Amino acid sequence: MPRSPNSDECLGECTACREPKEVLWQVPCGCWYCRDCLRRLVEISALDRFLWPPSCCKIELDEASIAELDDDKLLDRYSTVRDEMSTMRGRPDDTRHCWKPSCHAELAEDAGIEGSNAIVCYECGALTCTNCGREHHPNELACRASSIDEDLREAIGDNWQACEMCGWILTREEGCNRIRCLCGNEFC
């Protein structure tokens, strides 16, 4: 909830930008954000699904925290992505999603191109292979839906792992061994 410090108190400090502000919003973990930083946190996590859900101190922001910003467009975006991501995490195996990590929208059943193994993403226009779920490739190139290409292993080496939940290929350059996939699955 927003708070305005009394006039005889010093201004509060935003957790993100560290600037003194007259009005701050408290998120579930107890940290305080200015309007711009809280909006930015939600917007960035909605754009980059690897950062979803918006959180602070590893505690998710709830819808009430975002509603307090009184920004209907931002709240609608949050609700849309939340619903999409919760559907993705519990989706049946036959649900297809755009191959692009920046999009990963659910692909419509009627978006297939007749006579092709391609399906069009209505969100970004990208073509996804209906057999393997990766970027569409010409029909004459056979894809293997259940196994990873040896060429791929050769190209990126052994520093990768396929998500057991969705098959997405992930690499880790450095840091903790814990990996969080776009589908929400976490593994080491």
Whether residues 178 and 99 share a domain: the answer is no
Q: How many residues does the chain have?
A: 188
Name the token pair of 163.
Answer: 């998500």
Q: Which helix (H) or strand (E) holds 56?
A: strand 55-56
Whether residues 142 and 160 share a domain: the answer is no
Whether residues 111 and 121 share a domain: the answer is yes
Whether residues 157 and 185 share a domain: the answer is yes
Q: How far is CA 14 from CA 97, 139, 171, in A?
A: 37, 53, 34
User: Rounded to 5 degrees, what angle do the CA atoms 5, 7, 9 make?
Assistant: 60
| CATH number of the domain encompassing residue 71 | 3.30.40.10
Whether residues 13 and 60 share a domain: the answer is yes
Q: Rounded to an integer, what distance in angstroms lies between the CA atom of residue 4 and that of residue 137?
A: 56
The DSSP output letter for 35 is H
Whether residues 24 and 78 share a domain: the answer is yes
pLDDT tens for the chain, residues 1 to 188: 455 433 334 468 998 899 998 889 889 988 999 999 999 999 888 887 677 888 888 888 888 888 988 899 999 988 888 887 776 554 444 577 888 877 878 888 787 777 777 888 888 988 888 777 778 776 544 554 334 455 555 555 666 776 766 666 777 766 666 777 776 777 77
Whether residues 37 and 107 share a domain: the answer is no
Place of tokens 């839906």: 145
Q: Where in the sequence is the domain holding 30, given as residue range(s)? A: 2-89
Whether residues 137 and 97 share a domain: the answer is yes
Alpha-carbon Rg for the chain in angstroms: 21
Contact 33, 21 (CB under 8 A): no
Whether residues 135 and 166 share a domain: the answer is no
Last residue of a domain, one of 89, 104, 127: 89
How many domains, in total, are found in the chain?
3
Whether residues 39 and 67 share a domain: the answer is yes
The DSSP output letter for 173 is -
